[in-house]
Structure 1
Amino acid sequence: MTDRVIEGKNLVRRHSVLELVEHWAIALSGLLLILTGLLELPIGKRYYVTEIPWFSWSGDFYTTLTIHYIAAVVFVAASFFHVFYHGLLGEGGLLPRRGDLKESIKVIKTFFGKGDEPPFEKYLPEQRLAYMGMAFIIAMLIISGLVKTYKNLLDPQLSYAVTSAATWIHNIFFVLFIAAFIAHIAALVIKPNRPMVRGIFTGTIRLDYARGRHSLWMAALERTKTPSTDDGRGGEREEVAGTGARKDGHVLPGEKPDPGNETGSERTNDKKEEL
């Protein structure tokens, strides 16, 4: 887990670079799949899309299909990487929990001035529900898309029933994917969510915002991770809570040592001086 407070900058890291890469790989390839999927209807020539500069290719079915396949490779690879990578790490922060639906309704009501928001963890309850919904849509698109690709490239004689079912499923979930994508963007327009836009591009959000709205997440984060500062001796210094002592037992000039960190010889010398 890379979540950490960035001291002196009023920032907290919410997403790692790897998470940003996988997010944008799925998002951009997904957008390209939507575009090429629409062009295969076909609408390129019908609605004069081919007349737009640099879009003359949009009227050629095989060109749009090839681009669709290339985007699909990136989309599927990034999706599988997301599932296996975070699964192996045991990261389940986005998985739905009992009571998320009820909490989501409460949160939505607060957008209209009804009640106050409850304290949140790293992810909002509606984010967890939306994540599972999007995951199901993507899974159905991948499965049906693989069947259609198998038919196109390897088995043109695949039964009509299987081909028809795969096509209907792909088309239905294609529409749902567009709707979910629009809802995902629209959620960021809502005022309380706007500070999270920064995290999509930089991986960080404002620390004061996180402490105010995601207090449960920040409490857990600050409870388990003690900020480190440079001790001026060529390395980082981790302080023992409530003292000026380093974990290695050294004490910096002007700092009061913790008796609990003194070695046996130091305590013996102190007793001799007292005598």
Structure 2
Amino acid sequence: MKRNRDDGKRMIRRFSRLRIFEHWGIVLSTLILFATGLSQRFWHLDFSQWLILKMGGIDNVRWIHRYAGVFFSFELILNVATAVAGVVRGRWSPSMFITRKDFTDAVENMKYYFGLDDHPAKCDRYDYMEKFEYWTILMGGFLMILTGTVLWFPILVTKILPGEIIPAAKALHSNEALLIFLINALWHIINAVFGPEVFPLDTSIFTGYISRERMAREHPVELARLEEVVPAEPPAVGSDHPAESPVATSGASG
């Protein structure tokens, strides 16, 4: 689906309403989990103590953290379930799987950044950085769910597993939370907010639309597939002008 913006730029639908809603849910639940979880980890800091008191004390903080964790778990399971269902039904391609091309794209981009190549890698729907971030948070999220469940029901868990599982789960839960926080703060937010191509904010996940110009630059393989680009016809004999390709024609009009 395409539309024109007020400034004349052509916009292409990139994310569905479900993905937009899903992203908002992840954002809100993650912010609550960070606030309630990190304030417990760094309880000795003045800001943490102030935040805990503002939320009604440590017991309230723990319950808010648990309920936010339940909502986050639902979001994560929903994401995986809809993705699997879409692939099985043939509606979606498994575009988030890491392939050999992602490694070659990373090498090509490194060459481009160091001036050894004149163009960046031609990426599909998701580039290797987006895939790395997604799988890191997805795997980390499931680890958080598992360890959080152990810490929520320690007596029940130790009826089945040895008691050493509790301190191990506590260490994993706390350290993985810090890792996910750093990935979000240093990787995702910097790329989505302070990246030179999107500053002051990448709005595509909030509106669902991306400009054709940006898509041609960052996801040219997907754009070519959406526009069903075919190779240009060879010029006719005696013609002074080469045949135009659909990409060039479309780009000129946008």
How high is the TM-score relative to the length of structure 2? 0.75
Sequence identity, in percent?
A: 24
Say yes or no: does 1:139 pair with 2:138: no
Say yes or no: does 1:117 pair with 2:136: no
Unaligned runs of 5+ in 2: 230-254
* Equivalent residue in structure 2 for 1:185, among 177, 182, 189: 189
Counterpart amino acid of 1:30? Answer: T
Residues 138-185 of structure 1: per-residue CA shift (max 9 Å, x gap): 111111111111227x56877430111111111121111111111111
Counterpart amino acid of 2:180? Answer: F
Counterpart amino acid of 2:225? Answer: A
Report deviation, 1:196: 7.6
Report deviation, 1:23: 1.3
CA spacing shift, 1:17–1:185, aligned 2, 3 Å = same
Structure with bigger RCO (C-alpha 8 Å, 6+ apart) = 2
Cα distance in 1 between the residues matched to 2:133 and 2:69: 22
Cα distance in 2 between the residues matched to 1:146 and 1:176: 19
Larger radius of gyration: 1
Counterpart amino acid of 1:16? Answer: S
Say yes or no: does 1:199 pair with 2:204: yes
Say yes or no: does 1:16 pair with 2:16: yes
CA spacing shift, 1:74–1:113, aligned 2, 3 Å = farther
Say yes or no: does 1:172 pair with 2:175: yes
Determine the structure 1 residue equivalent to 2:77.
Answer: 80
Residues 101-133 of structure 1: per-residue CA shift (max 9 Å, x gap): 342243255456553212221211221122112
Counterpart amino acid of 1:220? Answer: R
Tell me if structure 2 keeps the 8 A contact 1:76–1:142. Answer: yes
* Equivalent residue in structure 1 for 2:101, among 99, 110, 113: 99
Determine the structure 1 residue equivalent to 2:249.
Answer: none
Pairing of 1:25-44 with structure 2 (within 5 A): 25-41=25-41, 43=43
Counterpart amino acid of 1:120? Answer: C
Tell me if structure 2 keeps the 8 A contact 1:104–1:125. Answer: yes
Tell me if structure 1 keeps the 8 A contact 2:105–2:123. Answer: no
Report deviation, 1:48: 4.7
Counterpart amino acid of 1:38? Answer: L
Determine the structure 2 residue equivalent to 1:260.
Answer: none
* Equivalent residue in structure 2 for 1:127, among 126, 130, 147: 130
Counterpart amino acid of 1:219? Answer: A
Tell me if structure 1 keeps the 8 A contact 2:25–2:75. Answer: yes
Cα distance in 1 between the residues matched to 2:47 and 2:224: 55
Aligned length: 217
Cα distance in 1 between the residues matched to 2:50 and 2:168: 35
CA RMSD of aligned residues (A): 2.7
